Amino acid sequence: MAAPIQIPLRGTSNVPKFDGKQPSELPRYLEDIKFLGNAAHIDQAGKIKAAIQYVALDEAEVWQTLAETTAIPADWTTFIMAVKNMYPGCEGTNHYSRGDVQYLVQDHQRKSMRNQDDLGEYTRALLKIAAALITNNKLITTERNMLYLNRFPHALQQKIREHLLIIKQDIHLDDPYPMDDVTMVAKFLLTRSALPLRAIKAKVGGTRRTLWGIMDSGSEIVAMPKCIWEEIGLPIRSDHTMKMSLANTSIDMMIGVLKNLILDVSAGEVMVQMQVLARANFDLLLGQLFHCLMSAATEDFPDGSQMITLRDPNMGKQFALPM
């Protein structure tokens, strides 16, 4: 049998600690006391004494009032059950509630998210609570995913959604994006090299439709999905088809081209050759060709807002639009 260790003094750095502020830490604290007591070869009364000795003063004063503290003979198991009863939800299936997720999201919405450290802190906190609720059938994964994205500051959240519209075209518009995908895009946007996507409104010539167009200078095409083209009802050149590689590495079929489509983006009209894709989770994708035609330039401000400057290709007039 190993020689007993020396019980450390209260207040030293290597003693178990519990201050009552985080009830979820109570079971681990009591386990540490039990481990320490076994290593020191002390009896059940000694473990109870140690548990009260190392806990914060306010908590110790309450624990000392328990009948189980001074019971003869001492019973460690009965004592810890009495202590846990004073901290409802410290363990078991009721440890967390759905409200805890809501409170976490609301709390982090009031905070800034400046870097990947802030992102990691939020992600770990949500995973900790959500995992327990999902295991106990109190929360479903799609709810967690929806709540996760809703926490991000509005400007960053909008940019995340715009990126995901491009790279996750297989996600139904009514379904929340998977948490892993949101985290991946958020990490990218929080790096200095990130080039956020932007969106502007564009009126389609010859129709009454006004669509959101995603400004993406990294894309080589100007495109819309088949479902939008069918709503517009304009004829396409169906003999102009091709397979194309999308941003999410999938392969999609271009079903035709809307020749000489006129778009009005409040900065004059511009005529584009609009590719029609079999499917996509955006209204319009305004790529390099559009940027060149409109001499597009963006300006970022400290509060996270953006302004885009477009030049009318016909009249040469310059317009600034908020984004």
- Structural domain boundaries of the chain? 1-91, 98-189, 198-322
Separation CA 162–CA 197 (nearest Å): 6
Class of residue 287 by CB neighbours under 10 A (exposed 0-12, middle 13-18, buried 19+): buried
Largest CA distance in the chain: 95
Neighbours of 194 (CB within 10 A): 14
pLDDT recorded at residue 249: 37
User: Interhelix angle for 179-189 vs 116-135, to 10°?
Assistant: 170
| Burial class of residue 188 in the structure, from the number of CB atoms within 10 Å of its CB (0-12 exposed, 13-18 middle, 19+ buried) | middle
Strands 210-215 and 251-264, by their bridges, are: unpaired
Per the DSSP assignment, residues forming a β-bridge with 251 are: 245
Residue 245 banded pLDDT, cuts 50, 70, 90: very low
Contacts of 74 (CB under 8 A, 6+ apart): 43, 44, 45, 48
Examine the pLDDT at 273 and tell me if it is beyond 50: yes
Mean of the pLDDT values across residues 138-145?
90
**Which H or E run contains 251?**
strand 251-264
**Mean pLDDT across the stretch 120-133?**
87
Mean pLDDT of 254-259: 86
Q: How confident is the model at residue 246 (pLDDT cuts 50, 70, 90)?
A: very low
| 74-78, 147-151, 171-175, 216-220 — most confident range | 74-78
* pLDDT for the residue 252: 54
pTM value is 0.46
For residue 313, cis peptide bond before it (omega within 30 degrees of 0): no
The two beta strands, 210-215 and 284-286, are: parallel
**pLDDT cut 90: percent of the chain above it:** 20
Between 169 and 197, the more confident residue is 169
- Continuous segment of H or E residues that includes residue 302: none
Residue recorded with tokens 């479902």: 227
pLDDT, average across residues 151-173: 77
Per-residue confidence (pLDDT) for residue 48, from 0 to 100: 94
Look at 193 and 145; give whichever has higher pLDDT: 145
Residue 11 CB partners (closer than 8 Å, separation 6+):
none
Among residues 157, 112, 105, the alpha carbon closest in space to that of 129 is found at 105
Give the DSSP H/E element, type plus range, for residue 301: none
State the first-to-last Cα distance of the chain, in angstroms, to the nearest integer. Answer: 72
- Is the predicted pLDDT of residue 192 greater than 50, yes or no? no
Q: Which residues of 199-217 are buried (b: 16+ CB within 10 A; e: fewer)?
A: bbebbbeeeeeebebbbbb
CATH 2.120.10.30 fits 198-322, yes or no: no
Q: Given a cut of 60, is residue 24 above it in pLDDT?
A: yes
pLDDT at 90: 77
Give 20 or 249, the one with higher predicted confidence.
20
pLDDT in tens, 297-315: 877 776 556 777 887 777 7
Give the mean model confidence (pLDDT) for residues 121-149: 88
Res 110: pLDDT = 67
What percentage of the chain exceeds 70 in pLDDT?
Answer: 86
| The CA-based dihedral angle spanning residues 225, 229, 232, 233, taken in that order and rounded to the nearest 10 degrees | -170
Give pLDDT, residue 160: 86
Least confident range of 100-114, 194-208, 243-257, 278-292: 243-257
Task: With a cut of 70, say whether residue 35 has pLDDT above it.
Answer: yes
**In this model, does residue 68 exceed pLDDT 90?**
yes
The token pair that represents 81 in the structure block: 């059950």
- For 94, 105, 132, 231, the CA distances from 137, given in Å and listed in that order, are 11, 20, 9, 41
Question: pLDDT-based confidence at 251, cuts 50/70/90?
Answer: very low
